[in-house]
Chains A and B, each alone.
Chain A
């Protein structure tokens, strides 16, 4: 066998290994089993609807409560899911997702059925402190404009804090990793201030910044700046020296090495730091809004709780869950994209 043949054979093997997975079609009709499995969420909605119309309410309140938003809500859910169902019958990747989640969606509606049963139907959970799903949706619709304004206010604080914190974290992380003098002064700061929850500085922030919004911004900044600086500087300090020496013998300048070797090499750590930054800043932001802010979702929760509008409290909690979960999902999608070159990456 000549050397050319060996190469060709090796190439061929390699090629097969690389491209073997690509052949699955996107448009493909569903099997009967999948089609049936994807019907399960409809059953969940049906159970909820039947429970809702067939059982009588208990009336712990002086005024009888007219539960009238839950059935339309179920209707909207059914229509939206029906759209997904129809597309899933033909689009393969979508179907894999929908089929995977079908029992979870079913359980989701069962949960609300149970909640309705324990509140509006039996009073086991004390009304009005724990409202029924109907009441929560009702309050969400009735107050959507204030809730949306508060959400915008919270998100503005969160994003500005994150953008400033993350970009400064990258800069100071690199500086700490590369310049001894900077490391000498910043490192103790990291060690002392870093582990302390941003919340502790709140009283000082309020005094120093005179405004609760600025204090919230400072808290988010601190919560995101710390993990990025720490992770990037430690990634740079612990880099495999061979990667740098290789760049030096290839003619790279110090500056080029920082940007094109040290920084990409710390991307896995940056990704983890981003996750920490995000979850810590949710906490920091919520906490600041709780003590003394005049807008924001957490402020609104506090406010409506004092007004004893528990339906709205739960509605806002629901909105916060949706927002935070979405942001986290986006962050992980970004992380997976950043780390597309990594072998055997643990997907989240």
Chain B
């Protein structure tokens, strides 16, 4: 069970990539972020500003050159199931069925026997019933995105990192899965960091939107979104927030 008092705190995070040809490339620079359980924080910024880089640092897949990232006061040292990652490309394991893809983490950690029911629950919750035995190449892109999300949520991680998991989907499917993610948030109350290019998506789902500058990425501003769910996408308040974020994104 997740400890609800833990906080994710990032301070002065800096990441430089060494490039043999172009020399050092400063991707992320002096970036701060704080997030609590039950909160969805959206990261928005121009392409290449270091959003994916930051999520990878939080996941422990990469190391920062400066600053600190802590979760519950402990520094992040490496990957853990407690910080789940839904990647930009939905790369499911093609040799595993939908069911086994979702159960992958539980099996890897040796807790599958005790938590078997969670897999079926997650399948039902994400509308995947009837496809348990299908292989990834037999299901649609929308279904694959659902499986990828279920694969992470089934582990009940404290932090969930979503890197544009819905960007490849049509508007219809995207709207459905957005609601499903909100449903999961209410149920499990993790910290959700979500990278997106879609301002509407950010305003629809997030409690806070953090805007990043172009590379080297750093905090450009923050917008709090205090609307109850389900949010009305065409209400004046909603549209006003969209404009506010759009204005912040106009860099020159």
In the complex the two chains form, what is the Cα distance from A259 to B79 in whole Å? 19
A11 at the interface (CB under 8 A from B): yes
Measured between beta carbons, the chain A residues less than 8 angstroms from B143 are: 10, 14
Assess whether A243 is in contact with B91, with CB atoms less than 8 Å apart.
yes
B186 at the interface (CB under 8 A from A): no
- Contact with A3, one of B89, B134, B179 (Cβ below 8 angstroms): B179
In the assembled complex, the CB of B129 is this many whole angstroms from the nearest CB of chain A, namely 8
In the assembled complex, the CB of A297 is this many whole angstroms from the nearest CB of chain B, namely 38
Q: Which of A1-24 contact B (CB under 8 A)?
A: 3, 6-7, 10-11, 14-15, 18
In the complex the two chains form, what is the Cα distance from A247 to B127 in whole Å? 24
Q: Which of B95-145 contact A (CB under 8 A)?
A: 95-96, 104-105, 107-109, 127, 130-131, 134-140, 142-143
Measured between beta carbons, the chain A residues less than 8 angstroms from B105 are: 250-252
In the assembled complex, the CB of B231 is this many whole angstroms from the nearest CB of chain A, namely 14
- Contact with A343, one of B78, B80, B137, B172 (Cβ below 8 angstroms): B137
Measured between beta carbons, the chain A residues less than 8 angstroms from B176 are: 3, 6-7
A35 at the interface (CB under 8 A from B): no
A242 at the interface (CB under 8 A from B): yes
A248 at the interface (CB under 8 A from B): yes
In the complex the two chains form, what is the Cα distance from A265 to B93 in whole Å? 8
Q: Mark A241-261, 1 if CB is under 8 A from B, else 0.
A: 011011111111100100011
In the assembled complex, the CB of B97 is this many whole angstroms from the nearest CB of chain A, namely 8
In the complex the two chains form, what is the Cα distance from A60 to B173 in whole Å? 82
In the assembled complex, the CB of A152 is this many whole angstroms from the nearest CB of chain B, namely 37
Assess whether A252 is in contact with B179, with CB atoms less than 8 Å apart.
no
Chain A: CB-nearest residue to B139: A14
Assess whether B155 is in contact with A246, with CB atoms less than 8 Å apart.
no
Q: Mark B157-186, 1 if CB is under 8 A from A, else 0.
A: 000000000000000110110010000000
Assess whether B137 is in contact with A250, with CB atoms less than 8 Å apart.
no
Known: A246-B87, A249-B85, A261-B93. A10 touches B108 (CB 8 A): no
Measured between beta carbons, the chain B residues less than 8 angstroms from A242 are: 87, 89, 91
Chain A-chain B contacts (Cβ-Cβ < 8 Å), number: 90
In the assembled complex, the CB of A116 is this many whole angstroms from the nearest CB of chain B, namely 51
In the assembled complex, the CB of A238 is this many whole angstroms from the nearest CB of chain B, namely 15
Measured between beta carbons, the chain B residues less than 8 angstroms from A15 are: 130
Assess whether B93 is in contact with A248, with CB atoms less than 8 Å apart.
no
Measured between beta carbons, the chain A residues less than 8 angstroms from B152 are: 249-250
Assess whether B79 is in contact with A245, with CB atoms less than 8 Å apart.
yes
Assess whether A248 is in contact with B79, with CB atoms less than 8 Å apart.
yes
- Contact with B151, one of A10, A250, A267 (Cβ below 8 angstroms): A250
Assess whether A251 is in contact with B81, with CB atoms less than 8 Å apart.
yes
B72 at the interface (CB under 8 A from A): no
Interface size class of A (residues with CB under 8 A): 20 to 34
In the assembled complex, the CB of A15 is this many whole angstroms from the nearest CB of chain B, namely 7
In the assembled complex, the CB of B187 is this many whole angstroms from the nearest CB of chain A, namely 17
In the assembled complex, the CB of A324 is this many whole angstroms from the nearest CB of chain B, namely 30
In the complex the two chains form, what is the Cα distance from A62 to B148 in whole Å? 81
A123 at the interface (CB under 8 A from B): no
Measured between beta carbons, the chain A residues less than 8 angstroms from B14 are: none
Assess whether A14 is in contact with B131, with CB atoms less than 8 Å apart.
yes
Q: Which of A330-346 contact B (CB under 8 A)?
A: 340-343
Q: Which of A258-277 contact B (CB under 8 A)?
A: 260-261, 264-265, 267
Measured between beta carbons, the chain A residues less than 8 angstroms from B142 are: 10
Assess whether A243 is in contact with B93, with CB atoms less than 8 Å apart.
yes
Assess whether B85 is in contact with A256, with CB atoms less than 8 Å apart.
no
Assess whether A3 is in contact with B175, with CB atoms less than 8 Å apart.
yes
Assess whether A249 is in contact with B91, with CB atoms less than 8 Å apart.
no
B33 at the interface (CB under 8 A from A): no
In the complex the two chains form, what is the Cα distance from A118 to B204 in whole Å? 85
Known: A11-B127, A246-B85, A264-B93. A251 touches B80 (CB 8 A): yes
Chain B: CB-nearest residue to A18: B138
Assess whether B91 is in contact with A10, with CB atoms less than 8 Å apart.
no
- Contact with A251, one of B109, B136, B137, B139 (Cβ below 8 angstroms): B109
Chain B: CB-nearest residue to A256: B108
In the assembled complex, the CB of B21 is this many whole angstroms from the nearest CB of chain A, namely 21
Measured between beta carbons, the chain A residues less than 8 angstroms from B80 are: 249, 251
Known: A10-B142, A15-B130, A250-B155. A245 touches B108 (CB 8 A): no
Chain B: CB-nearest residue to A240: B91
Assess whether A10 is in contact with B140, with CB atoms less than 8 Å apart.
yes
In the complex the two chains form, what is the Cα distance from A10 to B142 in whole Å? 9
Since A6-B172, A248-B79, A260-B104 are in contact, a sample of 13 more A-B pairs with Cβ atoms closer than 8 Å, ordered by chain A residue number, is A242-B87, A246-B85, A247-B108, A249-B80, A249-B85, A250-B105, A251-B81, A251-B105, A252-B105, A252-B109, A260-B107, A264-B95, A265-B95
A–B complex contacts, Cβ < 8 Å, 13 sampled:
A3-B175, A6-B173, A10-B140, A18-B138, A243-B91, A245-B59, A249-B83, A249-B85, A250-B84, A252-B105, A253-B108, A264-B95, A341-B95
Contact residues of A with B, CB < 8 Å?
3, 6-7, 10-11, 14-15, 18, 240, 242-243, 245-253, 256, 260-261, 264-265, 267, 340-343
The 8 closest A-B pairs by CB, nearest first: A251-B81, A250-B105, A343-B137, A252-B108, A248-B79, A249-B85, A3-B176, A264-B95
Contact residues of B with A, CB < 8 Å?
59-61, 78-81, 83-85, 87, 89, 91, 93-96, 104-105, 107-109, 127, 130-131, 134-140, 142-143, 151-152, 155, 172-173, 175-176, 179
